[in-house]
Amino acid sequence: MVVSIISAVIVLVIVAGIVSVYNGLIACKNATKNAWAQIDTQLKRRYDLIPNLIECVKGYMEHEKTTFENVIKARSLAMQQTASIKEKAEAENQLSSTLKSLFALSENYPDLKASENFLALQEELSSTENKIAYARVAYNDAVMFYQNKKEQFPSNIIAGMFNFKDMEFFEAADNEKEVVKVKF
């Protein structure tokens, strides 16, 4: 009788431990998904601002058609749903690069730089870029926490049993780390 009670308690403790670790992994996975949703929200906000920026700038920079086309193409590519976070990051990095080129060119147009609409859009886009950067950091922190939990003992055993997958970091491209150079 005592042996069966001890056995039942041991089994109950093991099951409770497995449930606890599993629930912890699920919580980390969901936190990571939530962090990605925050990035996605800011990216959509940026997509909405870009057409207004292009319209504002067009009147001042009529002969910079290639720059506009590059921004529009990059925006379209970034808005497409991609299979992986790596592909999404690459598209977003390309969009950021084309926007930096647009702002760098705007430096040569004093009337544009003085335009209240342009300044407001530039500030709004700058604010959005800061929010994207913050959301990217929060997402990468959530991924790191999830990956650590998934790989540490004993949760690595539970993660393996229930086939928890690795998650990708949202990393800046190497070219995003460089200063944009404009040549005329």
Is the pLDDT at 142 greater than 90, yes or no?
yes
Which DSSP helix (H) or strand (E) runs through 33?
helix 2-58
Share of the chain above pLDDT 70, in %: 91
Q: What is the mean pLDDT of residues 114-134?
A: 87
Query: What's this model's pTM, rounded to 2 decimal places?
Result: 0.77
28-35 long-range Cβ contacts below 8 angstroms, 24+ apart:
28/142, 28/145, 28/146, 28/149, 28/150, 29/146, 29/164, 29/167, 31/142, 31/145, 31/146, 32/139, 32/142, 32/143, 32/145, 32/146, 32/167, 34/142, 35/135, 35/138, 35/139, 35/141, 35/142, 35/143
User: Which residue shows structure tokens 């069966």?
Assistant: 4
pLDDT, greater one: 54 or 59: 54
**What pLDDT digit, counting tens, does each position of 150-184 carry?**
999 999 999 999 999 999 998 866 554 444 444 43
8 A C-beta contact, residue 172 and residue 93: yes
Report pLDDT for 177: 47
Architecture of the 2-177 domain: Up-down Bundle (1.20)
